[in-house]
Amino acid sequence: MNKKDFPFFQNNELIYLDNAATSQKPQVVLDAMNEYYTSYCSNIHRGSHELGNKATESYEEARRTLAKFIGAQENEIVFTRGTTEAINLLASSYVKGNFDTVILSELEHHSNILPWQLNDLHIEVIGVDQDLNINLEEYESLVKKNPHSLVSITHISNAFGIVNPIKELIQIAHKYECKVLIDGAQALAHLKIDVKSLDVDFYAFSAHKAYGPTGIGALYAKYEFLEEMNPYQGGGSMINEVSFEYSTFLDPPFRFEAGTQAIAEAIGFKAALEYIKQIKGLQAHDKSLLEYAKSSLEALDDIILYTQAKNVSGSISFNIKGIHHDDIGILLSKQNIMLRTGHHCAMPIMKRLGIEGTIRMSFAIYNTKEEIDKTINALSKAIRILR
């Protein structure tokens, strides 16, 4: 399915199962970026020449496309370098000074832990059960004990593929006057997102995990909160007036985009979103690959899976009893299969499970059941060698 759209696969026989880290890019994304560089490369939001106007229009069109894609208004989209920068922006421009406590889940990526620590916020953690799900009653009692906090939770766990019930989590948080940030890094490529029907306050994501380029992502924020926020960085493009005595800033979202932005990347991001939009059966494909991978893995001896939950998307994580995950990763790589081993930047949940890391297969629209069969054969071979 769709492999022909990706030049990466035209010159090799690789099986690429590390999509949760970053996905491959379709030709349309490369073409859009190339067109910018070869025919209208120019800086944005300054000057009045024709090329600059065209580049500005394309960049702003990218913002509109992204806003539409997630059901937001265009002035609620702040471009950032990715999810990490979006969370850091929110931490220093909004959360620090307004909140004492941030409520996280045990499944969080380090990008949703460190920004709070660096801004001296108190962290409370909602644990997960043996299937790695959040218990909503326990969550409600934690939120009730910590009203007026920020809840910051991942939409899909990058380490285990668990899809959190974010609509319910948001509703409960709002009952206790909490605000909610959802880390959507893994969700953009796998789920339909509608920030208005979710009533989420903030939502962060990266383009490169959804067929777009690296170096660009966004923070969605309800406009009323963006209006309250101070700039994250200062520099060109984000000001009304500057003097040595004082400066005034543009309205959101421009106030948060200091300096020359990732213009080609924003244009590539737009092309990636348009590409995703025209894919039919994306979620069904995802589900069938995951189910197939799970049942194929379960047929192996000594397999350890970490969840039997049905609410999973994108990734499956496992270990083989008595064998180090990295040894498997190395032997699979030698057989041209690229998957991820390690803690997946989610050390707290690894510690809670008493493991150093896992082997993770993560899927994209170009992966096939045949590739899963080949991976399982290569895995069996690796296990025979290592035993």
Dihedral angle sign, alpha carbons of residues 306, 163, 93, 174: negative
Distance CA 133, CA 54 (A): 47
- The three state secondary structure string of 6-29 is CHHHHHCCCEECECCCCCCCCHHH
- Closest distance to ligand PLP from the beta carbon of 217 (Å): 6
Q: Which stretch binds ligand PLP (CB under 6 A): 1-9, 181-189, 267-275, 366-374?
A: 181-189
Please tell me whether residue 109 binds ligand PLP under the rule CB under 6 A.
yes
- Closest distance to ligand PLP from the beta carbon of 109 (Å): 4
Q: Are strands 358-362 and 315-320 parallel, antiparallel or unpaired?
A: antiparallel
Which residue's CB is nearer to ligand PLP, number 92 or number 154? 154
- Closest distance to ligand PLP from the beta carbon of 251 (Å): 26
Q: Binder to ligand PLP among 111, 307, 362, 367 (CB under 6 A)?
A: 111
- Judge whether 135 and 129 are in contact, CB under 8 Å: yes
Give the amino acid at 36.
Answer: Y
Please tell me whether residue 314 binds ligand PLP under the rule CB under 6 A.
no
- Closest distance to ligand PLP from the beta carbon of 310 (Å): 20
Please tell me whether residue 206 binds ligand PLP under the rule CB under 6 A.
yes
Site for ligand PLP in 335-354 (CB under 6 A): 345
Please tell me whether residue 186 binds ligand PLP under the rule CB under 6 A.
yes
Cβ within 8 Å of residue 324, ≥6 positions away? none
Please tell me whether residue 65 binds ligand PLP under the rule CB under 6 A.
no
Q: Binder to ligand PLP among 18, 183, 257, 371 (CB under 6 A)?
A: 183
Q: Which stretch binds ligand PLP (CB under 6 A): 79-87, 91-99, 169-177, 363-371?
A: 79-87
Q: Name the CA dihedral angle for 166, 171, 177, 183, rounded to a multiple of 10 degrees.
A: 10
- Judge whether 202 and 76 are in contact, CB under 8 Å: no
- Judge whether 269 and 207 are in contact, CB under 8 Å: yes
Which residue's CB is nearer to ligand PLP, number 296 or number 317? 317
Which one of the listed residues 21, 28, 338, 345 is annotated catalytic? 345
DSSP secondary structure string, 306-338? S---S-B-SEEEEEETTS-HHHHHHHHHHTTEE
Return the structure tokens found at 382: 């690796």
Please tell me whether residue 261 binds ligand PLP under the rule CB under 6 A.
no
Q: Binder to ligand PLP among 29, 185, 263, 266 (CB under 6 A)?
A: 185
**Residue 347 CB coordination number (10 Å):** 17
Please tell me whether residue 105 binds ligand PLP under the rule CB under 6 A.
no
**Is 345 considered catalytic here?**
yes
- Give the residue among 296, 366, 363, 371 at the shortest CA–CA distance from 332: 371
Which residue's CB is nearer to ligand PLP, number 184 or number 231? 184
- Judge whether 140 and 297 are in contact, CB under 8 Å: no
Site for ligand PLP in 131-170 (CB under 6 A): 154, 158
Q: Which residues are catalytic?
A: 345
**Binding residues for ligand PLP, per CB under 6 A?**
82-84, 109, 111-112, 154, 158, 183, 185-186, 206, 345
